[in-house]
Structure 1
């Protein structure tokens, strides 16, 4: 009978981690629906980006208030949950605060005391975040409706409950309070339970202990369905992000080869293309659905924090255009999730559902509103690149559907005929200086 709690704990742990692993497997499968990308170059720069941007939160703190609060929540939540290791060991082996048996009392007390201070800081930061999302009139949060808004609040409630359970667990742990080391905050909560018997305190402490580990497992598995998946994906996303200058746009190999051929005075226009050149011609130019994007772009979609910094910096959005870089990423993720569910429902095979990312989720109007200024890319705190998706979908519209706006078609015709975007002969291009 004495081992029943340990068995229940182990089964709970296996179920929680097993369900999480199942969802991670789905996540990886969905990302692999995209084209492979070689990101093996510039490894030193990639590691540097990961250290500064993902770990160091360097782009997050460009907005000092929200940046500092995010650092407190992120660092505090991660560090506090180091204690989860102790909870897991205690749960499996039936020990109580195994850390006291391994570490000197002063070291253990310092660690738990630090955790308690961080827990209070996290609670304060979460309250400010909640107010910013629900009371303060911040446009990038105000524009969120339905699930995206609720999702952000649910995570904040999760964090409040987990921090409170942690402090309650410490405050009602009689041996820990008698130790007098590490109870920096919980010593002020303990008097609230001064009238309780030792048995009642033990029951409350055990209840908080169980709820804390259950809460952690629920939180872990909730991440897959939440925008907070970036907690896990920010590091690989930043590492795999582009290290090219932001103004550089990628070119299709087949188109580049065609242009070079046209510009080569010695080339035979009637010669059959080399086999390697034929192999480079893609089945589709650009992207109309998530399967046409590359794996890094799909990883970007899953990593999006929905913070709205990209949209708040977008000049097209600020002037009233329909374009929202945040919506581009959310739409891409929603479509990818829909495709994943389609595959699950059809025994691992995608069956055409008559939908695609272009048209059903993202409109032509949104795509053509983009100025390609890269403001969204620069603003993103986790190195997401909405512009690359926009450009690939534009490429599809132009090269597959000939659906460019009239103004753009006119400009390209003028370049082809006159060598300039303007509708007059090259010989007349300098006439303006005589006026």
Structure 2
């Protein structure tokens, strides 16, 4: 590569990473729109949870076929991109296989990259077939039409192109390594168990043409990686980056243990304690919130917003939801997608208005998630249990139901009747409190 090429590469690299970090700042800004909540109280268990679920993929393999294929793509993505460091150095300084001095270690690395590239290609093709030929039910649901469906396919196409370019780049490089004279900077380095079978394609071509093709493959590969990296912001595949913090900050309490509003708990204790002073100042943490529950993303906590960005749209939650399986409107996947879409909408509003959110008469409740969906939930935690990255659609559902009940008194009639009975009779059933213990006499 010439000095001009090195300069051009530096510019392309700066633009790619610059745009990426600009979008990362937007993601962090949007997540911080949520209410503060402490999730750093048990670091040992948090690190263990992240290592087991995000790194170890322990929940993915509960469905063995998809789990194995995902592990292949996941490991391939992580390990093959180690080579990105060498590509960057070669691109900036005009070197060729700068890590070749590692000798046998380098050969083993390149060989493992190639084998993984083939395995990734096979896995991705199977994924494409599962979505578009076999058409598994969770991939053709009504909540996964339009952009979400196209997005999943675009990522798979991206991976096929990137892996193919990687192998073609290596194959043309190997061909030029074996050319005598004129290409001395193509030092002999690396082991190529796969591309050695592709290299003969270049036999009979002029060395100059193969060199042009090699540089073309090289440029397309690195630019493709930069495009892929920046596409993540617009894609469900943002979980590649966010699965680790999401599992680290996940709720480690037992499933089914709901959080109680401190102000409501304090009020109930006050009512039940005859010796309590009703005029005593309440602790700050027990202060009455400005709003009970959540009607928009600013009412959710930041971990719930992180959950929304991390959602893989795999549909395991929805395919396990008993409400959805019985034909009700609820889809836990749609809950997360709606939350993320609203968060992005609010973010664009803030960008447009120079860092300030201007009320837009739109909210998460009703515009993105309906009351019908919320009340269809049985709160069984199946969606939480199934999620491969510890997302909790249920926590969002419960906070929004809390808003409907406590702010709008908009619960379904049977629930309102039950709560009225509890308030008046101390029990869910409609009878006099004096009759509560009559069963003892029967």
Q: Residue 125 of structure 1 corresponds to which residue in structure 2?
A: 123
| TM-score, normalising length: structure 1 | 0.96
Equivalent of 1:324 in 318, 323, 331: 331
Q: Residue 14 of structure 1 corresponds to which residue in structure 2?
A: 14
Taking the TM superposition and a 5 Å limit, the aligned residue runs for 1:328-339 are: 328-339=335-346
Distance 1:240 1:116, change over 3 A: same
In structure 1, distance between residues paired with 2:190 and 2:347: 50
Deviation for aligned residue 1:431: 5.8
Q: Could you list the per-position Cα deviations for residues 238-275 of structure 1 after superposition, in whole angstroms to 9, with x for gaps in the alignment?
A: 0000011111000011000000000001124xx43405
- SS at the partner of 1:355? coil
In structure 1, distance between residues paired with 2:31 and 2:262: 23
Deviation for aligned residue 1:277: 5.2
Give yes or no for contact 1:254–1:277 (8 Å, CA) kept in 2.
no
Q: Residue 261 of structure 1 corresponds to which residue in structure 2?
A: 270
Residue 194 (1) aligns with residue 203 (2): yes
| TM-score, normalising length: structure 2 | 0.94
Residue 415 (1) aligns with residue 422 (2): yes
In structure 2, distance between residues paired with 1:68 and 1:9: 36
Residue 87 (1) aligns with residue 96 (2): no
In structure 1, distance between residues paired with 2:17 and 2:61: 33
Give yes or no for contact 2:49–2:247 (8 Å, CA) kept in 1.
yes
Residue 240 (1) aligns with residue 238 (2): no
Q: Residue 194 of structure 2 corresponds to which residue in structure 1?
A: 185
In structure 2, distance between residues paired with 1:48 and 1:388: 22
Distance 1:279 1:266, change over 3 A: closer
Deviation for aligned residue 1:175: 4.6
Distance 1:177 1:245, change over 3 A: farther
Equivalent of 1:390 in 397, 406, 420: 397
Note the aligned Cα RMSD (angstroms).
1.7
Taking the TM superposition and a 5 Å limit, the aligned residue runs for 1:61-210 are: 61-100=61-100, 102-104=101-103, 106-143=104-141, 144-173=144-173, 174-176=175-177, 179=188, 181-210=190-219
Give yes or no for contact 2:421–2:429 (8 Å, CA) kept in 1.
yes
Q: Could you list the per-position Cα deviations for residues 176-207 of structure 1 after superposition, in whole angstroms to 9, with x for gaps in the alignment?
A: 46748511000111112212111111111111
In structure 1, distance between residues paired with 2:284 and 2:149: 49
Q: Residue 53 of structure 1 corresponds to which residue in structure 2?
A: 53
Deviation for aligned residue 1:218: 0.3
Q: Could you list the per-position Cα deviations for residues 89-121 of structure 1 after superposition, in whole angstroms to 9, with x for gaps in the alignment?
A: 000011011111x311x2211111110000000
In structure 2, distance between residues paired with 1:430 and 1:62: 48
Deviation for aligned residue 1:337: 0.2
In structure 2, distance between residues paired with 1:337 and 1:426: 51
- SS at the partner of 1:172? helix
Give yes or no for contact 2:305–2:340 (8 Å, CA) kept in 1.
yes
Equivalent of 1:217 in 226, 232, 235: 226
Deviation for aligned residue 1:139: 1.0
Deviation for aligned residue 1:276: 3.0
- SS at the partner of 2:283? helix
Deviation for aligned residue 1:343: 0.5
Range 109-118 or range 413-422, more displaced = 413-422
- SS at the partner of 2:409? coil
Equivalent of 1:227 in 213, 220, 236: 236
Deviation for aligned residue 1:413: 1.4
* Number of equivalent positions: 431
Q: Could you list the per-position Cα deviations for residues 322-353 of structure 1 after superposition, in whole angstroms to 9, with x for gaps in the alignment?
A: 11100000000000000000011111111111
For structure 2, the residue ranges without an aligned partner over 5 or more in a row are 180-187
For structure 1, the residue ranges without an aligned partner over 5 or more in a row are none
In structure 2, distance between residues paired with 1:137 and 1:333: 25
Give yes or no for contact 1:165–1:211 (8 Å, CA) kept in 2.
yes
Q: Could you list the per-position Cα deviations for residues 204-230 of structure 1 after superposition, in whole angstroms to 9, with x for gaps in the alignment?
A: 111100100000000000000000000
In structure 2, distance between residues paired with 1:407 and 1:279: 30
In structure 2, distance between residues paired with 1:128 and 1:325: 26
Give yes or no for contact 2:249–2:303 (8 Å, CA) kept in 1.
yes
Deviation for aligned residue 1:153: 0.3
Distance 1:342 1:66, change over 3 A: same
